[in-house]
Chain A
Amino acid sequence: MRIYLLRQLALLIITLFLLTIFAFCLSYWFPGNPITNSSGIFSDDTVRFAEAAAARGYDANIFVQYWHYLGHLFRGDWGISLLDADPVFEQLQLRFGATLEIAVLAMLIALVPGIALGVLAALNFRKPIDHTILSMSLSGYSIPVFWFAQIAILLVAVRWEMLPIAGQINPLFNIEPITGSILLDIFISQPDNMSLALRSAVRHITLPVLVLSVMPMMLLIRLTRSSMLDVLDKNYITSAYAKGLSTRSVIWSHAIPNAMQNVIRELGSLLSLLITNTMIIEVIFSWPGIGSWLIRSIYERDYPVIQGGLLLIAALILCVHVALNLFHAWRYPQVRKDLNASS
């Protein structure tokens, strides 16, 4: 396990390192001046431009430049936006919290019914329940998230007037953004009318999170179902039954834990899908996360923001993947054995 841990961490560090090289090179590959592209300072602001060039070592060779780039990266100086001169790192911090908030909540909401329905479908293999769940998941999976969001807005918000459709909270509550996640911010700032503010925040977060959770939920159903079917075919399940264990204890203590092994491995790839969907949802629900900001930066060619966003999202997905791999290996000894055997 220790070797595996070291290997995974080494892999993580090397990939992150390659990623920073790539992001660094981008400032050369993008059209325009590399100093402007990485710092966000235009060359007509001569004084600050010269300062930025010196601070980033642009008079020396490319290795020194990369070294300075890493220095800036770790100091949290990610340059400023070309559009509005906001510091990229601060903005990312603030907006990333908001993005993570709905992504994580959606994932949590997707997990429980996703897995439960998947198990249910597998247990009723080729029975009407199975068919119903399967066709539901297929149609749910094939509906694009933006369409689903529009329908949800039209029905739940406009027709039934149940929920608001924009932002994190009624802006008349003056909540200072600190983490970017509205629920956390409310707890941190402790406003006078806290229960009211919380209520408003929950009402605002419900629709985006529910819409966002549909796709991972549907995928989870299908994943769990097929993995469960595999496991139910295994000899140890038959032998467990043969030993006289009740169906309940076979399912709970043998089938489900083993079926989860595959599901957990796939969670990582679910996450990248989820992040992409989150960006779309953010634009639709005016959620102040990184999504709308990154999308704008792409068509306005705001290079420092693109670089920062790329780095952050790629690093997030990488770290989650590695963490899942480690968890997987720690939880399931046979995975470790396979890994060791193959090396």
Chain B
Amino acid sequence: MNKLIKYLSASIALLTVSACSPAPETEQSLNGLLYCAEGNPESFNPQLVTSGTTLDMTAAQLYDRLIEFDADNQQFTAALATSWEISNDGLSYRFQLRDDVQFHSTDWFQPSRVMNAADVVFSFERWLNSEHPYHHVSGRGYPFFSASGLTQLIQSVRAIDEYLVEIRIYKQDSSFLANLASDFAIILSAEYGQQLLTNNQAELIDTQPIGTGPFQFSQFRKDVLVRYLRHPNYWREIAASEQLVFRIAQSDHKRMLMLLTQDCDISPYPPAKDIQWLRDKPDINLQDTISPNTAFWAFNTDRPPFDDPLVRQALAHAVNRNAILNTVYFDHAVRADSILPNTSWAHHGTPSAYRYDPEKARELLREAGYPNGFSMQIWALPVQRAYNPNARLMAERIQADLSAVGVQAGIVSYEWSTFRRRLADGEHDSVLIGWSADHADPDNFFRPLLSCAAKQSGNNRAQWCDPMFDELLSAAISSNDPEVRKAYYRQAQEHLALEVPLLPIAHSVRFQAARDNIIGLELEPFGGIQLRKVSRQKPANEEQ
């Protein structure tokens, strides 16, 4: 008997020891990158989405744009287009394209030609032209383009010759180039589109994507991972890592632990309360950037009682935002007094409109006819974003503040893709969400969020449509003079302070943590993350 036990315990001990011995160098030297993402991608085509999670995972990895924005030098730089000309009246833009750009070659598609003007026209027409064979494929609409007004702005996109594209617009728009440089305006393959149409598999264009980017799609397992492989014929320097794997882990705490146990190399949005602790870890490299973003609490102005500006003002006064900065952001954020971040040149804060004043809130509620309050729902976004590390906690704080003025709030949350779908359908009373800048133009915080066009495209979380506000915005973008634009944006922000379709809460610092052997990683203030230059440093003691 004793012998048996000895055998057994010995074998178990052996198994444990062999399993627990540290990873061999070879596993560490697999040429790949593990990025812990905070949710599933909704699609593999950034044209269809506005969620930062999906943009991070697709835009800069699978695709390229015509032009890009260089945040350091505050100027547009060449990408797929080598140069561009603007006509004197400002209504026609001509883009000269590169002639050496290869599309991905995969099991399901082998390109026969390099990228040319036909691909650009195809990609733009897809969201522009409702007659286009792909316009209704995937059936999600094109929220960024319709909300930012590009679909109304562009008159035509045509190929002048094989590598020259002309885009004509109806009226001058100072944010046009910035929108083209955003993560959404990516270039798809027309040839792939044609192949899928012939095979009657059009919807595959967004689930088995083909682009020109540094990585090509390989595998997607929902809730587990997204796998990309290096694009060997990339037109810039090829990606530094052979493989890029996005592991999906919704919990920020879990992602942080996975970073510590080397289950991931890069982890975005670490929990705010652990920032200091992570900073002190020698083998973790913590980066931060002032990324222009705003967390806000949007009221569904289509639903009573939120259709009454008095109620919205009351709710705005009921919330103690300074306390939220402390408990939710651990002071890694500043209080927002406008939807437009304080780093923007057009920022105009109106602190008095959103002041914490429960007395005033009660008074306003009485005036609006709700002396005993009412009950409502707060939808808290289920993932961590740069602008909001913990929406659930924020919702709980707001819930407590509201009950002090007699408003009973319930907190609602769904899985991320369900959450977005229901939001777009306008099923919410109010929602805690936010916006990160796609480009440096202030227009990016107004038209995509609060215009009537944004309401139609399902991106206006307040379901708010005010013709006067829209007029201010169009006046602002039709000028190129910063002073004139500034004046219009000031009026727009003052208008928002009166109407309060949403309560701006915070502009937050964006954090990203990585293992210290990860090189080439930079945190850009605008748009999604770039991973093509990032790789894992080879272990120093590797024999070879």
Contact = CB atoms under 8 A, between A and B. Distances in A.
A163 interface: yes
B258 A202 contact: no
Interface in B1-41: 1, 4-5, 8-9, 12, 16, 18-24, 26-27, 30, 32, 34
Nearest to A165: B261
A306 to B, nearest CB: 15
Contacts of A338: none
Interface residues of A, number: 44
- Of the listed residues B32, B258, B261, B262, the one surrounded by the most CB atoms of chain A closer than 10 A to its CB is B261
A170 B261 contact: no
A166 B249 contact: yes
B542 to A, nearest CB: 14
* Most chain A beta-carbon neighbours within 10 Å: one of B19, B21, B32: B19
Contact of B257 (A158, A248, A296): A158
Contact of A196 (B22, B27, B221, B227): B27
Interface string A77-108: 00000011010000000000000000000000
A251 interface: yes
Contacts of B19: 163, 202-203, 206
Interface stretch (B85-93, B388-396, B411-419): B411-419
Nearest to A164: B263
A244 interface: no
B222 A166 contact: no
Contacts of B415: 83, 296, 300
A167 interface: yes
Contacts of A136: none
A166 B247 contact: yes
Nearest to A297: B415
A163 B20 contact: yes
Interface string A203-227: 1001000100000000000000000
Nearest to B222: A84
Contacts of B1: 119-120, 123, 248, 251-252
Given A83-B415, A158-B260, A167-B224, A286 B8 contact: no
A116 B414 CA distance: 47
Contacts of A167: 224-225, 247, 263
Contacts of B12: 109, 112-113
Contacts of A163: 19-20, 261
Contact of B417 (A83, A203, A206): A83
Interface string A116-136: 100110010000000000000
Interface in B221-272: 221-225, 227, 243, 245, 247, 249, 254, 257-258, 260-263
A93 to B, nearest CB: 14
Interface in B140-159: none
A25 B104 CA distance: 49
Interface string A9-45: 0000000000000000000000000000000000000
A116 B5 contact: yes
Contacts of A158: 257, 260-261
Contacts of B24: 196, 199
B219 interface: yes
A156 interface: yes
Contacts of A153: 257
B26 A113 contact: no
A152 to B, nearest CB: 12
Contacts of A171: 34, 224-225, 227, 245, 247
Contacts of B224: 167, 171, 286, 288
Contacts of B16: 206, 210
A1 interface: no
Given A196-B24, A300-B414, A172 B32 contact: yes
Interface in A154-207: 156-158, 161-167, 170-174, 177, 193, 196, 199-200, 202-203, 206
25 contacts: A83-B417, A86-B222, A112-B8, A113-B8, A116-B4, A116-B8, A123-B1, A161-B22, A161-B260, A162-B20, A163-B19, A164-B261, A165-B258, A167-B263, A171-B34, A171-B225, A171-B245, A174-B218, A174-B227, A196-B26, A199-B27, A251-B1, A252-B1, A286-B224, A286-B249
Interface of A: 83-84, 86, 109, 112-113, 116, 119-120, 123, 153, 156-158, 161-167, 170-174, 177, 193, 196, 199-200, 202-203, 206, 210, 248, 251-252, 286, 288, 292-293, 296, 300
